[in-house]
Amino acid sequence: DAKTTQPTSMDCAEGRAANLPCNHSTISGNEYVYWYRQIHSQGPQYIIHGLKNNETNEMASLIITEDRKSSTLILPHATLRDTAVYYCIVRVANTNAGKSTFGDGTTLTVKP
Amino acid sequence: DGGITQSPKYLFRKEGQNVTLSCEQNLNHDAMYWYRQDPGQGLRLIYYSQIVNDFQKGDIAEGYSVSREKKESFPLTVTSAQKNPTAFYLCASVRGGSNQPQHFGDGTRLSIL
């Protein structure tokens, strides 16, 4: 699985959009981009995933660059409850699942 | 409801003792994973299994062992060879042959007495 690089930490004002970047320059054509978040001492929670098209769900939007070497997770109206560690991973799908490696993630702090 | 159950939530180990962490899923997922998380750090992959009776080492397998005798179960044994076992352990599963995301359990926190 390709390695990802994320900033260690970010701040965001409550009610504003939070834009979390992720670099995955060695991503392969059959690898999806997944985003999870983890609140202290809990298991990671799935947010969104995509292959090459931009995706949106009730939680967030995922913007993937045309060359697929980077992506951005957008939380459109951040709340204090969005304070968490956010992980971007890439993983081969449509196989026997395969190895899935997480990095250190980005600690997002939403401030009042 | 379907999900992943990890037990116990808290576990204490004496020096030189082996302990086994339980992970059970009723999602009919093919692949299962074990991760270790140290304070302030990300998840590191210990072992993973794509099908029953088969498993592969992750990035930090030394001092750990696993088995996958049933599809729904993937227990992790922390052996006495693991010199620094204090950590938060997370189990995950995913359906093979799909792009669906991993599901995670609530974790087991292991401490040394």
Query: Residue A95's pLDDT band (boundaries 50, 70, 90)?
Result: low
C-alpha to C-alpha distance for B25 and B29, rounded to whole angstroms: 8
Of B99, B104, B109, the CB nearest to A44: B104
Nearest one of A57, A93, A17 to B96, comparing CA atoms: A93
Pick the residue of A30, A62, A101 with the most B CBs within 10 A to test the interface with B by mutation.
A101
- State yes or no: pLDDT of B24 exceeds 80: yes
Cβ of A96 within 8 Å of Cβ of B97? The answer is yes
Backbone angles phi, psi at A42, to 5 degrees: -120, 165
Question: What percentage of residues in chain B have a pLDDT greater than 90?
Answer: 76
Cβ of A87 within 8 Å of Cβ of B59? The answer is no
pLDDT, tens only, A12-58: 999 999 999 999 999 988 889 999 999 988 999 999 999 998 999 99
Q: What are the residues whose beta carbons fall under 8 Å from the beta carbon of A66, sequence distance 6 or more? A: none
Residue of chain A minimizing CA distance to B46: A101
Residue of chain B minimizing CA distance to A44: B104
Partners of residue B95 in chain A, C-beta under 8 Å = 97
Q: What are the residues whose beta carbons fall under 8 Å from the beta carbon of B52, sequence distance 6 or more? A: B68, B69, B70, B71
User: What was the pLDDT predicted at A97?
Assistant: 58
Residue B47 corresponds to which tokens in the numbers above? 């072992």
Mean pLDDT of chain B: 92
- State yes or no: pLDDT of A98 exceeds 70: no
A80 forms bridges with which residues in the sheet?
A: none
pLDDT, tens only, A17-28: 999 999 999 998
